[in-house]
Every structure is written in structure tokens, then in C-alpha cells.
Structure 1
């Protein structure tokens, strides 16, 4: 994820002191952070607005990158960069997808020294955003980027989609065209409790959780970062190794959001930030 933020120092504090990422590079108005030994999994860009700069997707290899490039052309989508926009990437391109969301598809990210051994997630996990045309976005991700359906919620209400054994790499919920959260994998539910303690010490709080989701089965906790986006720390996400597994279907009335309770904060989906459009 690349996120534009009006308070880059506050965003760095949240990512390093609350979530537990480490800074790998600072370049101009860009700050690169990671959980593991890669150049970056999250980028903050100092800006006059808070919003999503781009969604990064790792292609399998050069052939896959070229295939996606051809599909993007066939969709008549606007290419905004013929090369990598972010530091630490060998090759890639960026384009404007449905509803103005900018995607950067890349290969060969350079490794980096792992951060200090203290606390933090194992790796970046997935994103959740709320397109206006949720079915159209789902079909675009299937058609152009080879995402597969894991769970379907209601009648065109939500789709959980995967591109690896993880139950979902992208979750889509019908909404107002905003990005909701970026999610990070922890080793155990104990890490979620420690996150709550760190938030409490600086006068902040979880906005929901820990909960056990039905769709994906992960245990998760959420807080709001400085940019206005939500951050999820989770563990125990379902793994799907059968590429032909049919999607699990939930009715709109079923409790797919929390297997431990029917409670869900009414304000939970009100958080989030929009895509930043017309960058070029």
C-alpha cells in the first residue's frame, strides 16, 4: 500500500511504535516501511491530502507482468507509469483501474535487512475497500488480475478474493468508493492483546475486536491510523490450497463478521480514505 498523509511523522509513529514495522528507506517525501526482510510493504507519502496513492500487486514473473499489461490495454485503462513508481522495485507499471483506484503491478522487489527484534507483524496480508460498483470491481479483479472468489456475502454485497493460499488478498464490500483497511499477519492472538496495550498507553483505542470472522476465520483487531485509514492486525487466517474450491456463500442475514458475538460497531465502516485521483 502507498498512502498519502498530511502528517507523515504521525503516520511513521503509528507504523513503527504501534504496529511494529521498521523504516527501510526515506527518499524525498516518501517513507518506506516493512514487517519482513523486503524493501517495503507500506509507503507513506507526505501530501496535502489523506488518501490512497496506489495499491501494489506483486506479479509472479516477467511473463505474468506482460500478460497483465496486455489485459490492461484490452480494458482501455489509462497507464500512468511505464516503469516502477516506488523505490526498490526492478520492473512494473501503474494504471488507473475502476472508480479511479490506481494499481501498481511489479516484480522483483529488492531484499532489505530485517528490522530490530522486538514486536511487530510477520508480514503484510490484505486490503479491504468499498467500491460503489462492488460486482464490477470483483469482475475486474477476476478478469484482469486472476483473483479467485473465496466467499460471497449476500446479493452483490461483499466478495472475498484470493491470489495465493491466503483466504483473501482483497476484500470488497459495497460502499461509497473508499479504502477501509490494510491488514498485517501476527503470530498469535497474544499479539492482538499487546497491540491494545500499546494503543492504551498513548491514549488511543481499538475500534473493534478482537473478533473471530466467519469469512476467512481470522481473529482480528482494528484501530485507526493517522491518515484516517484503518489498520487490522490478524492471525489464524484460513488457507485455501485447492484452486478449484467453490466460494462459500453467506446470506445477507448470516453473521459472517463475528463468530463470537453478533455485535458490530455501527461506526466501523464509516472510517476510511478515498483514492487520490488525477495524480498525473
Structure 2
């Protein structure tokens, strides 16, 4: 009997920011996200019917607060808690744990904080309308859904072992120096690249409907007074077409489409990649200093 993986999908990302107003403005005016909840401490934004996919928290520094993962169901949440206890992982509390009901929060390898829950509330009615009626006049290029996260870490092997052994992620590809792992049919939910001094989130990624929307986001970023940092480009690993720009925290935002889907784990065969191909199949160059972007985790030393 096949065992169902304990994680259903990547749920959200929570970022600390020194300029909350700028983050809200870009998220709504460029990305077309809707505010589902806001107070003096931060803002929750969504592209869909769920309460949020990104949470910006006002702070005196920019950084990664935590990432959210959605468990398959309540039984999966119980199993995750048991596995974490066997790994002697210490549980913590996040300020927004109450949103989810039953939730598991902890600090994992590389001082990356996790929040795992079996479900997330819906957004208020205006957020649902924002999702259901995409042709409505609105600023920004609203993505279809929140997709994946990519990390730069010191020890890629250790983080890969943790998310695969404890959280049931599966390896999709192994480019030089890292791993791309999946929790559902998407080629990757997490990218993990090793060899860096301190862990940081390099980018959070959002799926759009087609390559035309990648052109639209390029135009919208330009109208906003900024430029793309890279793309559009087709990656070898994952096969997705992507465009990248920065948010006010210094983290990269990826918009992508056409990602490889893996429906049958038993039939999937990992490919070997040349260093020049896994990044880009359309051009040999990568942007200079591209790995200097991102925000470090606020936890640990």
C-alpha cells in the first residue's frame, strides 16, 4: 500500500522588513496581491482564496522569519510531530500560530523556522473576489498561485536529508552543489543550494498562467521604476520559464510558468546536468552577483 507523503504543498513565507509600506505597495501594485489582514505589526497578502501566501512583518531588519508548509491532513500532522520528537527537534511558537488552529512550529537545520498546519482559513470576501475575477480592473500581475522557495545554505546535504527523511520530500534533480526536492507533482517545492556561510532565502516563486504574463510582469516592473534582475529564461532543472525581480527586503521574487510535473514517482528518472545547462537553456550568462540577493534567517547566531 502506497504511503501518502505528509506534506501537501508549500504554504507561505513570512519575511521581516524595515519598510513595511514599500512591501505592501509593491505586492499590491506590481504583483496584484490582495490584503487579507493588516495591523501595525504587519500584513498578510494573498493571490487566492486562502488567507495568505506571504506575510510581511515590520522590524528593524530584513530577514526570513519562517516558512509555512501545509500537511496532508490532521493525521499527517500527528505523524510529523512524532518524527520531529524522534529527531529531538525543539518546538517554538510563532506570533500567528493562532490563525491555523493545530500547528507545529520549530527551528530546523540551518536555523530555518518552519510552521506546519493541516489547513489555512479562507481570505475575506474581497480577497476571494480578487481571486475569482481576474479580469477585474486592478493594478499588477496577479499570479495563479504560490509555488516554491529556494534557499542558499551552508550544508545542502543536511537540509536535504531533513526535508526528505522527516517531511517526505522527494529528490527531483541534483545539480552541482545542491538539490531540488518536491512534495507534490510540481518538479520542486524547495531548491537547496549549498556552500554559503549563513542560510538565506534567495527567492520566493509564484506560478503564472503562461509566458505572456511573464512579459506583463516585465512591463509592470518597468512601469514601477525597477527592472528585472534576470529573464525571461528557461531553466534546465524544472523546465520552467521564469522572470526575476527584487522585493524591498532584498529577496528575489520569481514569476514562472510551464514547470515540469511529476505524476508517478516510480517512473521518474533524475537527469544529469551540466553546470551551464541547469540554470539556463536559452542563454549562457547568469546575472553577475545573482546569488548575493536574498535574506538571512533571523534565527540562530
Q: Same fold (TM over 0.5)?
A: yes
Aligned to 1:102: 113
Alignment of 1:100-179 (within 5 A): 100-112=111-123, 113=125, 114-116=128-130, 117=136, 118=138, 119-154=141-176, 157-176=177-196, 177-179=199-201
Runs of 4+ in 1 over 6 A off after TM superposition: none
Number of the residue aligned with 1:65: 77
2-side partners of 1:67 and 1:18: how far apart? 40
Normalized against structure 2, the TM-score is what? 0.87
Once the two structures are overlaid, the 10-residue window that deviates more, 118-127 or 243-252, is 243-252
Deviation (angstroms), 1:216: 0.5
Q: Secondary structure at the match of 2:278?
A: coil
Unaligned runs of 5+ in 2: 1-12, 131-135
Residue 258 (structure 2) aligns with: 236
For the structure 1 residues 254 and 228, does the alpha-carbon distance in structure 2 shift closer, same or farther, using more than 3 Å as the test?
closer
Which residue number corresponds to residue 20 of structure 1? 32
The 5 A counterparts of 1:250-261 are 250-261=272-283
Aligned 8 A contact 1:130 1:180 in 2: yes
1:152-172 deviations in Å (ceiling 9; x for gaps): 113xx1211100111100011
Pairing partner for 2:248 from 226, 231, 239: 226
Q: CA deviation at 1:99?
A: 1.4
CA distance in 2, matches of 1:136, 1:41: 27
Q: Retained in 2: the 8 A contact 1:84–1:106?
A: no
Which string of whole-angstrom CA distances, capped at 9 and with x for unpartnered residues, describes residues 223-271 of structure 1? 0100111000001111110122445233453511111111111211110
**TM-score, normalized by length of structure 1?**
0.94
Q: Take 2:58 and 2:296, find their aligned partners in 1: how far apart are those partners?
A: 16
Q: What is the CA distance between 1:97 and its match in structure 2?
A: 0.3
Count of paired positions: 276
Partner of 1:56: 68
| Corresponding residue number in structure 1 for 2:46 | 34
1:92 equivalent in alignment to 2:103: yes
Give the match's secondary structure for 1:187. Answer: coil
